[in-house]
A = this chain, B = another copy of it.
């Protein structure tokens, strides 16, 4: 059908082409999601734009995978269909919103005409209201763009992608079927999107830098605490330079694992109040100045709000503000301030912190028991990890155990400490492994619990379909161990059906030479596994799937502390 207005456009291209080319421009190479009749025509534009269609098993998993992909590549895109598809993904999008992960969520909509006429279409609530679902997404998206008019489509697309990156949060783009092939000005693509952070007001920035330096010079035993937002808001370079030049002992919050080169001499371990690693709590809590970078002080990130750090001794760097003791400097982004502070740093007074290693605790070494304990496993893992590994841990024992693992340099750590949706890690692993493949990263390693794995197990199929070769550990401990420690230690609601986990890759259609399975029940078997070249190599072109058997009633120390705090708070009387 000829469109009069296209004649005025010199280089007309279709809306869907524009959208996918913009996504390519900002680094997206694969698109996650599922087909549906309201998005099918749009899917035809993915391959021509130089993108790969993943084809997930379901939309929640696609959302998790997009999250994992974005954490590695900086941004991701997902396509779902109106109502049924998008709502299946709501939990994943909410998680990305909560944890600052940029996902462009494209939803295939019925035609603008059908919407206007309130047709009783499939995938509606039957009430003629086509805005219900986008309204839900408003709560969990930093932009909602309904592409209902040709003339504003390009602007809305550009705006959504820019907001997605700058705010590092999901955006929602509604693409009605009749808009997919509408013509818009392709020449706009010649001007790349401006996705740089706006600079701080220089006068204000200098002022803040001076205040920070003043406290820093005066401090006798300062520490640095790096957290998630340093990663999400892209301040890792500034953070790294500051750590290296200052020499101040540096710690990470659980959500900040992976933000810091843990082989640096001044790296001290994980700080999380009462759940901290060995020697860490004393050092951090005795500091006369705590410099936090990108902090999110949530319950699970602080072992149940057990920080003992006074705001009077604190400087907080955020993406939206800097806070020195109780003085707030809103609108001053950390990146610029950190950079200048590092440049102007004079000689500081430093007291050493603890030096974490991956040594196995003494009583574990002495123990004659063959059982794989949590206390033994996580430091042992640290010895096996390699630089540039991607390590994904699920909410459960894994997410607390990893506090005990000192990483090699350049590890990307993925977990959901704040949102904490189980099943996330397996979906996320698919996305991360795909991003890794695109970037030449060799090993993507997943640790998930048996309970959590059951929520999203079929994404192993998507890994196989996309020829991905992650290393997957299922912690087989007969159920929801983390929940047992909160409430109902032996209650049947914390049990799960015993699966033959190892049989799943084959059932999901893996060809014989495409995968390898293992089961380890003793420390000795773990040692052998880690020594197995084919298993450990980054060159192995096989998905590796391990049943890692651990006791049902064993948990990392930090989990026990946090679980007790959670149980206490859950029982707290109201007035």
- Tell whether, in the assembled complex, residue B509 and residue A507 are in contact, meaning their CB atoms are under 8 Å apart: no
Does A325 have its Cβ within 8 Å of any Cβ on chain B? no
Which chain B residues border A532 with CB–CB below 8 Å?
none
**Bound CA span A36–B458, Å:** 22
From B53, B121, B497, B500, contact of A462 by CB (8 A): B497
Chain B nearest CB, measured from A7 CB (Å): 16
B-side contacts of A156, CB under 8 Å: none
- When C-beta atoms are compared, the residue in chain B nearest to A488 turns out to be B40
Q: Select one of B35, B44, B98, B121 contacting A126, CB under 8 A.
A: B98
Chain B residues lying within 8 Å of A480, measured Cβ to Cβ, are 35
Question: Is A570 an interface residue when CB atoms closer than 8 A count as contact?
Answer: yes
Please tell me which one of the listed residues B176, B420, B567 contacts residue A84 in the complex, with CB atoms under 8 A apart. B420
In angstroms, Cα B37 to Cα A256, docked, is 24
Known: A111-B569, A500-B507, A507-B504. A483 touches B136 (CB 8 A): no
Q: Is A124 an interface residue (CB 8 A)?
A: yes
Max chain B C-beta neighbours (<10 A), residue from A1, A44, A483? A483
Q: Tell me how far the C-beta of A106 lies from the nearest C-beta in chain B, rounded to whole angstroms.
A: 14
Q: Which of these binds chain B: A280-288, A295-303, A367-375?
A: A295-303
Q: Choose from B41, B179, B498, B570 the contact partner of A38 (Cβ within 8 Å).
A: B570
Decide if B178 touches A53 in the complex (CB within 8 Å).
no
Q: Is A88 an interface residue (CB 8 A)?
A: yes
**Known contacts A122-B418, A126-B296, A136-B90; is-contact A37 B83 (Cβ 8 Å):** no
The interface bits of chain A over 55-84 (1 if a CB of B lies within 8 angstroms of the residue's CB, else 0) are 101101000000000000000000000011
User: A522 at the A/B interface (Cβ < 8 Å)?
Assistant: no
Look across to chain B and name the residue whose beta carbon is closest to the beta carbon of A302: B120
Chain B CB within 8 A of A139 CB:
yes
Q: A126-B98, A570-B41 are in contact. Are A421 and B84 (CB under 8 A)?
A: yes
A536 within 8 A of partner (CB): no
Q: Is the CB of B497 within 8 A of A509?
A: yes
From A53, A83, A84, A483, name the one whose CB has the most chain B CB atoms within 10 angstroms.
Answer: A84
A125-B94 contact, Cβ under 8 Å, with A57-B454, A136-B139, A454-B458: yes
Do the beta carbons of B90 and A299 come within 8 Å of each other? no
B residues in contact with A26, CB < 8 Å: none
Chain A 38-50 interface mask (CB, 8 Å, partner B; 1/0): 1011011000000
Q: How many residues of A contact B (CB 8 A)?
A: 99
Complex CA–CA separation, A246 to B573 (angstroms): 63
**Quick check: A566 and B37 within 8 Å, CB to CB?**
yes
Which residues from chain B contact A501 at a C-beta distance below 8 Å? 507
Whether A41 touches B492, Cβ cut-off 8 Å, given contacts A91-B87, A120-B296, is no
**Those of A434-466 within 8 Å (CB) of chain B:** 454-458, 461-462, 464-465
B575 lies within 8 A of A113 (CB): yes
Q: How far is the CA of A111 from the CA of B566 in the complex (A)?
A: 11
A574 at the binding interface (Cβ < 8 Å) = yes
Q: Given A97-B125, A457-B458, A480-B35, verify A60-B57 contact (CB < 8 Å).
A: no
Contact yes or no, A420 B122, CB < 8 A: yes
CB neighbours (8 Å) of A87 from chain B are 90-91, 94
Nearest CB of chain B from residue A236's CB, rounded to whole Å: 20
Residues from chain B with a CB closer than 8 A to the CB of A178 are: 570-574
Option from B57, B486, B493 in Cβ contact (under 8 Å) with A55: B493
A457 contacts which chain B residues (CB < 8 A)? Answer: 458
Q: Tell me if B126 and A497 are in contact (CB < 8 A).
A: no
Question: A119 contacts which chain B residues (CB < 8 A)?
Answer: 299, 305
Per the 8 Å Cβ criterion, residues 523-562 of A in contact with B are none
A214 within 8 A of B: no
Instruction: Give every chain B residue within 8 A of A494 (Cβ-Cβ).
Output: 35
Do A456 and B136 have beta carbons less than 8 Å apart? no
For the complex formed, measure the closest distance between the CB of A433 and the CB atoms of chain B, giving whole angstroms: 15
Q: Given A58-B456, A300-B122, A465-B497, do A84 and B88 touch, yes or no (CB 8 Å)?
A: no
Q: Which of A131-151 contact B (CB under 8 A)?
A: 132, 135-136, 139-140
Q: Nearest-CB distance from A441 to chain B (Å)?
A: 24
| Given A37-B487, A40-B483, A122-B298: 19 more A-B contacts, CB < 8 Å | A35-B488, A40-B488, A43-B493, A44-B491, A84-B422, A87-B90, A97-B125, A113-B572, A123-B420, A178-B570, A178-B571, A178-B572, A454-B461, A457-B458, A464-B497, A499-B509, A500-B508, A501-B507, A507-B507
28 pairs of residues in contact across A and B, judged by CB atoms under 8 Å: A35-B483, A37-B483, A37-B486, A37-B487, A37-B570, A44-B488, A44-B491, A53-B492, A57-B497, A84-B419, A90-B90, A90-B136, A98-B125, A111-B569, A114-B569, A120-B297, A120-B299, A122-B299, A122-B420, A123-B419, A123-B420, A125-B140, A135-B139, A177-B570, A177-B571, A457-B458, A499-B507, A503-B506
The 5 closest A-B pairs by CB, nearest first: A84-B421, A87-B91, A40-B487, A58-B455, A177-B570
